[in-house]
Structure 1
């Protein structure tokens, strides 16, 4: 969700809502209602009309986390929204138009799920236009302190605490731990550590104790960083530029696809050292 939020914040949609939906956390029978809303009386308990996440995200960005968990019915409706940018609320007959940037993420192997008939092939190809593989945390240790500080700022503000930074010992502990649960596990550990910390520097303390008891930390090999947040942003912009044959401006240019001003895109290209390759003689 951090990557998706950064894409939103760098786009022309940043003044509109960023709506985050964890599909795995939604009961199967409520997925369509959550995404597309419902009319009063659409089902037992629907005592009033309710807007869905797509309506709330109109003009902005909708992030579907764990998209591989969507039900067959939700997959069909999602495909229609992506194709036609329209849908009806559950129990409704009025067709609603939306303009939403959709970003989806999953830990599942969607290609295999397509072969097994669990996930729609047409939806898979719609979602798989600009895929970004997010390496595990242990593959990109340089990002661990960055993400830890992001979560620290978030939770310290939420809890009304003044914690300026990670302690050196906390940094060491975070870098040594293998993070089998990836970013969600890191977020949970930082939240717990924020609750327990009493000083101005975050101390991990026993927030990792349960995990560390099950790990032989001395036996964890050094991991070579395969990517970083900037590296993934660079790869994403490069894919769009290659698809547009390095055309930045215009309705079909890279800036329009990325929802960026051309000047903003050029600034990002310069910062990320993205240059148009020279033609082969």
Structure 2
């Protein structure tokens, strides 16, 4: 691990805040533009990522200003989570909920496929987000999004395996509830249920796949919005540049190094932890 002096670290921290400032501006603009083009009629005010700028000299020399910027970034991490949540909520509560626009744009077959497809594309890619949000997407779509690849690769999964896997995203439902949701997915035509001894095994009955016409319309209408959460998550919640060790001589280096260890992990929770605790560190060491 790279070892830095306190001043070298401060410069590295500034560079990360400048990077995040740029991403916050471009991604917030992109999200709002795509939203206004397609979802504004359902919700004119989605949750947006706050935009901010960082003055280099002030950040390096004024600890109160530095604390303010760190707190702004911490809050912007929350904004990112809520932006994704607002997107999923609006899609599933309004557009995909048999809206006239949705019915007009996609065939009956693609309408059902799309509800599962969008869940797979977003929740299937964002494991950590899915650990924190089980409300925005109806659970039958969420469950297949989480299990789809495993069922496909293993050519079938037991109820116990599915239940265990769902616990990894903090979704702890009873076996009775799980069977109800799996029955719904079977009724939608995506799973088959067979018996293997005493175990019920669920296999794919068909792929989650849009028709050629559905793919074309999806790419034209929805692709930028559906791709946005994953692209944003992987760029914004990545602060590995400050996964460094601070040399002796800094104020309370043990505390600072403990905080910076978390920067090695990509994702909302780790980034939030690092910036929340860096703020506290500078408050305590003014």
Taking structure 2 as the reference length, the TM-score comes to 0.24
More helix by share: 2
Q: Which of the pair has the greater relative contact order for Cα pairs under 8 Å at 6+ separation?
A: 2
Q: Which has the larger radius of gyration?
A: 2
